[in-house]
Structure 1
Amino acid sequence: MSLLKNINKTSRQISKSSEDYVDATKEYIELKTFQQLSIAFSLLFKSFIIGSLLFVSFIVLIIEGVLICIDLFNNVHYALLFISGILFVITLLVYIYRKPLIESRVIKMVSKTFFSKS
């Protein structure tokens, strides 16, 4: 009879330990999900703010560049064409080098936060 009591007691302990493990795992997953969502939203918000300011600055820089080119070329059309060409070349370079410039950096940043133990 003692053997059956020991088996019963051990099985209850195993059952309790399993429930504790499942509860701890569930809590960890919830916390990790919250961490990743908060990091993603803060990154998105910061990117929006910084991107908006950079966009306005870029527009002012383009306008100033056009005004300088108008003085240089003495023609509005040539100035606009020159600035458009420069923007096209910059866009083409960013597109060509998008993987090392953008994609790999984003993947490294996300993987650091996603796979961190804290």
Structure 2
Amino acid sequence: MSLLKNINKTSRQIAKSSEDYLNATKEYVELKTFQQISKVFILLFKSFIIGSLLLFGLILLIIESVFLLEEILGSIHYALLLSAGVLFLITALIYIFRKPLIEGRVIRMVSKTFFSTE
């Protein structure tokens, strides 16, 4: 009879340990998910604010460069064409080198935060 009691007691302990492990794992997954979602929203918010300010500064820089080119070239049309050409060239270069410049860095950054054990 003692053997059956020991088996029964051991089975209850195993069941309790398994339940505790499942609860701890569930809490860990919830916290890790919350951490990742928080980091994504923080990154999006910072990117929006910094990107907005950079865009505003870029627009002012382009307008000023058009006025400067108008004085140099003597024609607003040529100044606008040259500015547009430079912007298209920069855009094409960014598109051509998008994998090492953008995609690779984003993947490294996300994988670092996603797979960290903090």
TM (norm. structure 2) is 0.99
Give 2:25's aligned residue: 25
The structural deviation recorded for 1:63 is 0.3
- 1:95 equivalent to 2:95? Answer yes
Give 2:54's aligned residue: 54
The structural deviation recorded for 1:54 is 0.1
Give 2:34's aligned residue: 34
Give the paired residue count. 118
Question: What are the superposed Cα offsets for residues 41-82 of structure 1, whole Å, 9 maximum, x if unpaired?
Answer: 000000000000000000000001100110011001000000
Q: Which amino acid aligns with 1:100?
A: P
CA–CA separation in structure 2 for the residues paired with 1:15 and 1:110? 37
CA–CA separation in structure 1 for the residues paired with 2:14 and 2:117? 27
CA–CA separation in structure 2 for the residues paired with 1:24 and 1:96? 47
Q: Which 5+ residue runs of structure 2 have no aligned equivalent?
A: none
Question: What are the superposed Cα offsets for residues 69-97 of structure 1, whole Å, 9 maximum, x if unpaired?
Answer: 10011001000000000000000000000
Give 1:85's aligned residue: 85
Q: Which amino acid aligns with 2:37?
A: L
- 1:117 equivalent to 2:113? Answer no
SS at match of 1:57: helix
CA–CA separation in structure 2 for the residues paired with 1:13 and 1:104? 48
CA–CA separation in structure 2 for the residues paired with 1:19 and 1:95? 52
Give 2:69's aligned residue: 69
SS at match of 1:7: helix
CA–CA separation in structure 2 for the residues paired with 1:99 and 1:21? 42
CA–CA separation in structure 2 for the residues paired with 1:89 and 1:73? 20
SS at match of 1:25: helix
SS at match of 2:117: coil
